[in-house]
Amino acid sequence: MQVILPCLGVSIRRSRQVREDPQQVPSDRRGSPRVPVLRARQIVLTAAERRRLKQLSHSRTAPFQQVVRVRIVLDAALGYSNNTIARRQGVRVDTVRLWRGRYAEEGLAGLADRPRSGRPRTFTPVQIAEVKALACQLPAETGTALSRWSRSELAAEVTGRGIAETMSARRRVSVKRWRGRSGARGRCSTTGCA
């Protein structure tokens, strides 16, 4: 086929490719191979599942990421495409594909975060409890001539008693955080931490 463009004085020739081999990969009109289109996972919800997901999607206490994942699933159940869901929820198409697939395979449990790699815990729960108990005691009760525990003195006492081999400066900050969670503010009495 030849097309002549008179305004430019150019002719363009386009040839048609003939498939000789019936086993040849199907192609589009331009001759490039067709890529198979992956269908999005279909999500079908029961009435109970839909109710539970709607509750979570309107939750003000659930983590925001969890709410977005639930909304992705609800939109998928309504039949929206991955592109439409991504636009509606303000996320990438890959994100929609991931959470849609996980829900299809695992249900609501699939929307939870998976454990991630990271530094293993350096203190056991028993060691944490012992440090908290020590932080709630007056230093005078342990034979230390202090009116209050400082982080460095508490860390020295922890290593001196053999509760932990070492406590880094960062861990000393964590001791302050532990004391705050359990209600200890640095003053202790006979009834416990105040």
d(CA 161, CA 97): 53
**Sequence-separated (6 or more) residues with CB below 8 Å from residue 39:** none
- Let me know if residue 93 belongs to a domain: yes
d(CA 87, CA 153): 55
- Let me know if residue 51 belongs to a domain: yes
pLDDT of residue 151: 82
Residues 98 and 138 placed together within one structural domain of the fold: no
Taking only the tens of pLDDT, the chain with its 194 residues reads: 555 555 555 555 555 554 454 455 555 566 666 666 667 788 999 999 999 999 999 999 999 999 999 999 999 999 999 999 999 999 999 999 999 999 999 999 999 988 888 888 788 889 888 888 888 888 888 888 888 888 888 888 888 888 888 876 555 445 555 555 555 555 544 444 54
d(CA 152, CA 160): 12
Please give the structure tokens belonging to residue 189.
């009495």
Whether pTM > 0.85 for this model: the answer is: no
d(CA 83, CA 132): 51
What is the domain count for the chain? Answer: 2
- Let me know if residue 64 belongs to a domain: yes
Residues 99 and 131 placed together within one structural domain of the fold: no
3-class SS at 155?
A: helix
- Let me know if residue 14 belongs to a domain: no
pLDDT of residue 6: 54
Residues 129 and 187 placed together within one structural domain of the fold: yes
Residues 61 and 103 placed together within one structural domain of the fold: yes
pLDDT of residue 194: 45
Which residue in 85, 108, 82, 87 sits closest to 97, CA to CA? 82
Q: Check residue 120 and report its DSSP letter.
A: P
Residues 129 and 106 placed together within one structural domain of the fold: no
Which residue in 112, 67, 70, 72 sits closest to 89, CA to CA? 72
Look up the domain containing 178 and give its range. 125-193
What DSSP string runs through 4-19?
Answer: EETTTTEEEE-PPP--
pLDDT of residue 55: 95
- What CATH number is given to the structural domain containing 64? 1.10.10
3-class SS at 41?
A: coil
104: exposed, middle or buried (C-beta count within 10 Å: 0-12, 13-18, 19+)? middle
- Let me know if residue 143 belongs to a domain: yes
Last residue of a domain, one of 111, 133, 167: 111
pLDDT of residue 85: 95
